[in-house]
Structure 1
Amino acid sequence: MDKTQHSRIPRNINRRMSCRPLPGGRKTGRSIIVQHACRIELSESALRRNLRFLRRQIGTGVRLVSVVKANAYGHGLDVFVPLAENCGQREFAVFSATEAAAVIAARTHPGTRVMIMGHIENGDLDWAIANDVAFYVFNLHRLDGALRAAQRVGRPARIHLELETGLHRTGFNTRTLPAALKRIAAAPDLLRVEGVCTHFAGAESLANHYRIRRQIETFASLTGVMQGHAVPLGARHSACSAAALNYPETRMDLVRIGIAQYGFWPSQESRMEFLRRHDLRRNTSPLERILSWKSRVMDLKSVPAGEYVGYGNLYLTTRRQRLAAVPTGYHHGFARTLSNLGHVLIRGHRCPVAGVVNMNMLTADVTDAPGVAIGDEVVLIGTQGRQEVTVGAFGEMARDLNYEVLVRLPAEIPRIVVA
C-alpha cells in the first residue's frame, strides 16, 4: 500500500473538477488534500525518553526489538517505524507477513530488520527469505516449508524456534522438539537458527506469578535439550514489556517491547510492582504517553432546558445548555459505551459527552467552558492546559483495556509527528 494512504488518508479529488483546497488543506500537483475530522499526534521526544528508560532497564548487551503489530498498537506503523528509526531503533517485530511488508515499505534505514512472530503462509516464505525477513517456526509444517523455500531461493531461512512452555498456543514441546532439531541439524546451510523464544501467559498480572515462574523453568529445560542436539540457540528471548520490567531474569539476549515503548504500562499491577521494586513514589511514571488524539469543534448550539439531545431520550437538558458538535464518533474509535460517560477537553475545561456517541459525531456540553468557538481544538486523549484524558481513564469508562482502545483507532486517521 502507498505510504500516503497509511498516514495522510485524504483522497485525491478528480482533477477535472474545479475545486479549491478547503481551509487548512493543501494543494499538491494535480490533487487536493483536505483535513480529516481528527488527527493523532506522536511525540518524538516522549518516544526518545521511553526508549532511553527501557534500554537502561534491560541493560547493555540486550537487544531491544520494537513490536509494531496491529498498526503499531494503533499509532500508525508507517509513521511510527521511521520515527523509531530516528530514535535509534533498528529491529522491529510484527505478527504477520503483511505487517512485515509494511515495515519494509516504511523503513528509511538500510540496516533496519523485521521479524514475523506469527502468521505467514508457507507460500510466502520464499518472499520472506528473499527479503531477509526472520520468522518464528513453531511446528513441523512451517519448518518443512522453510526448508523447501530456502532451497528454492538459494539462501538460508532466518528462523526463531518458538518453544511451548505453558501458554498452550504455539511452539514446540518436549514431544515435538526432538524431530525439529534433527531436521535443523541436517540442514545447517538452509536453516539458520537466529533465536529461540517463548511467550508468557500474562506476565502483567501478579495472579500469574507462579505460572510465569514455571514457564521460565520450562524454557531453560527446553533450551538445554537444544544444546544437547548441537543446535545453536541464537538469541534467547522471552520477555514482553511486562516481563522485561518486572522479571529481570527474562531479559536474556533480546526483549520484545510493545506497549511500554508507546508510554503505557501493561497493567496497573505491573506499574505498581515496578514502583515497589524500585522504591519509587506511587504517582511516579517513568513512561510517557507518546500519542495524543485531537479533533475540532464543528458546530455550537444553545438548547433550552427540558429538551432531549441526540438520538433517543438518553440525555435531557436541565438548564439552557451550550453544546458543541465534534466530528468524531465510534467509527473513529470513540466508543459508543462512552455515551453520557466520556469527557473531552476544550479550552482547558473537562467537558462531558452529552447523549449518544454517533458513528461520526459526538456532542459535548460546553456550558461551563467560556469562550468556546467553532474550530477550537478538542482533545479526546491527551493533555490541554492542566487537564488530561488518559488512555487508561478512557478505557476504564468504556470497560476496555489500553490495548483495545489503541488498536481500534482506524488507520485512516492521519498520524503526525510532533516534537
Structure 2
Amino acid sequence: MLFTSYIELSKSALNNNIQFMKKMAGDSPRYSMVIKANAYGHGIEDLLPLVESCGIDHFSVFSVEEARRALKVKNDYCDLMIMGFVDDDHLEWAIENNISFFVFTKERLDAVCKIAKQTSLPARIHIELETGMHRTGFVKDDLEYVAQKLQENAGDIELEGLCTHFAGAESLSNFDRIYNQIGTFHRRCSWFHDKGLQPKYKHLSCSAGVLNFPEASMDLVRVGIANYGFWPNNETKILHIRNGQIPEDPLQQVLSWKSKVMSVNPVAEDEYVSYGTSYRTNRESKIATVPVGYGYGFSRNLSNMGHVLINEKRVPVVGAVNMNMMVVDVTDLPIVKVGDEVVMIGKQGDKSITISSFSDMNNSMNYELLTRLPAAIPRYEVD
C-alpha cells in the first residue's frame, strides 16, 4: 500500500441517496449536485463520474479552482455553476467555458457587463438576492440598478437564475426566519418578472430545504450533504421518521476510510502510552499503531476518545493522536497482526463507525470532518 490509508466510494449508496432526494424534490426542479469542498471530502475527480452515472447532469461548485477540476472530468452535456468566488481575472474564462455563476455585488455585475462584450458566448449569470441570510446578495435598494444593467446588456448577459440561500433550514428554531425568506424571495422574483426579466431557474433549496420545505423547491435544487448519505442534522432525520414520512433511515453513507495495522506491541501495567501523560495502562496491555494521524485527517481532538474497527471489533484510541499515527488498545482482541484492516469510517462485519459518531465526540459537524479528509488520500469506487 503506497499510501497510509485509502477511501472507498460506494456507487450503490450514492445512487440510493440521489434517487431518494430526487423523489423528495419532485419531478419539476432540475437537480444540481453540490460538489464544493472537494465534493465534501469525497474527491471531485473521483466522485463526479459516479454522479453522472446516477443520471445527474448539473453540478454546483464554490470556486474557479473547483470548476476547473470538474471541467476536466465532466461530460460536455453537463452544466456547471459557480456559487461563490470568481475573480474578475477569471470571468472571461468562465464565460468562454459556458459556466454559469452567481453575481451578488454591483462591482461584479459591472465587471461581467464589461467583459461579456469581449467574449464569444453570453455570460450565464444567477443574480443572488439577499432575503435574510445577510451574507451575500443584492438588497432591495440595489434591485433597480441590477434590472437596468440586465436590460441594457441583454445581448451579452443571460439571466439564467434568481437565487438565494436559506439561513438554517435544518433547524425548527429557524422556521419563521426561513418562511420569511421564502416570502421575500417570491416577492423579489415577482418584481423582476414585472420588469420583463424572467430567469430560467428560480432556486433557494439545499438538502435541508428539500427535506423540510418541499414547497420551496421551485425550478432547481442545490443538494449537497444528503447526497453523501448524511442528514443536515439529527433534528431533520427524527422529524421525518416520527412523522411517518420514512420508515427507517433511507440515506446510506457513501464514504469509507480504511488503513492497516502497522505494528503490535505489549505494554506493561502502569505505563504511559504515546506523547505525554494523557493515557496510562491499568493492566498488561497490547497496543497497535495505525499510520493515520491528524496530518491525515484524524483529528487530534479524538485522542483518548475515538474508536476504530479491527477484526470486527470496536477498539479505543489511546493516548494523544500524533501527526502521522495513532495508537489503539487491542488487548481484548484474541488475534491481531500487522496488516489487519483498520476502519476509521465505515463498516466491518456488523459493526460501523459513522461520521456522526466522530462529530458527537469532537463537537463538530459532519460537513467539517468530511472536508478535512486530505485530497491526497486515494479514492476507489466500490459497489
TM-score by length of 2: 0.98
Q: Which runs of 4+ in 1 moved over 4 A?
A: none
| Matches of 2:252 and 2:97, distance apart in 1 | 34
What is residue 58 of structure 1 aligned with on the other side?
Answer: 25
Q: Are residues 1:368 and 2:368 paired?
A: no
Q: Which residue of 2 aligns with 1:93?
A: 60
Cα deviation for residue 275 of structure 1 reads 2.1
| SS of residue paired to 1:207 | helix
2:49 maps to amino acid = P
Match of 2:107 among 141, 148, 154: 141
- Does the residue aligned with 2:257 lie in a helix, a strand or coil? strand
- One-letter code aligned to 2:8: E
Indicate which of 391, 405, 411 corresponds to 2:369: 405
Question: Secondary structure of 1:136's partner?
Answer: strand
Q: C-alpha offsets along residues 245-273 of structure 1, whole Å, 9 cap, x if unaligned? A: 11011111110000000000010011112
Say if 2:50 is the partner of 1:83.
Answer: yes
- Counterpart in the other structure of 1:332: 296
Residue type matched to 2:82 in 1?
Answer: I
Q: Tell whether the 8 Å contact from 2:9 to 2:254 is kept in structure 1 after alignment.
A: yes
What SS class does the counterpart of residue 175 from structure 1 fall into?
A: helix
Structure 1 distance, partners of 2:317, 2:237, is 30
Taking the aligned partners of 2:209 and 2:324, their CA distance within structure 1 comes to 39
Match of 2:150 in 1: 184
Q: Structure 2: how far apart are the matches of 1:96 and 1:274?
A: 33
Taking the aligned partners of 2:10 and 2:354, their CA distance within structure 1 comes to 15
RMSD: 1.0
Q: Distance in 2 between matches of 1:228 and 1:241?
A: 30
Partner of 1:395: 359
Alignment equivalent of 2:264, drawn from 283, 300, 314: 300
Within 1, Cα distance between the matches of 2:120 and 2:20?
41
Superposed CA deviations along residues 273-308 of structure 1, whole A, max 9, x for unmatched, are 222344445xx2111100001010000001111111
The 3-state SS of whatever aligns with 1:176 is helix
Distance 2:334 2:95 in 1: 60
Contact 1:323 1:367 in 2 (8 A): yes
Equivalent AA in structure 1 for residue 282 of structure 2? T
> Which residue of structure 2 aligns with residue 3 of structure 1?
none
CA contact (8 A) 2:28 2:218 kept: no
Q: Distance in 1 between matches of 2:359 and 2:37?
A: 18
Q: How much does 1:88 deviate?
A: 1.4
Measure the CA separation in 2 of the matches of 1:78 and 1:233.
30
Q: By how many angstroms is 1:399 displaced?
A: 1.2
Aligned residues: 383
Quick one: which of 103, 106, 126 aligns to 2:70? 103
- 2:251 maps to what in 1? 287
1:207 aligns with 2:173: yes
What is the aligned partner in structure 2 of residue 11 from structure 1?
none
Given that 1:344 and 1:352 are in contact with CA atoms closer than 8 Å, whether structure 2 keeps it comes out as yes
Asked whether the 8 Å contact 1:246–1:273 carries over to 2, the reply is no
Separation (CA, whole Å) in 2 of partners of 1:354 and 1:295 = 17
SS of residue paired to 1:225: helix
Matches for 1:373-388 after TM superposition, within 5 Å = 373-388=337-352
Distance 1:280 1:184 in 2: 44
TM-score by length of structure 1 reads 0.90
**SS at 1:152's partner residue?**
coil
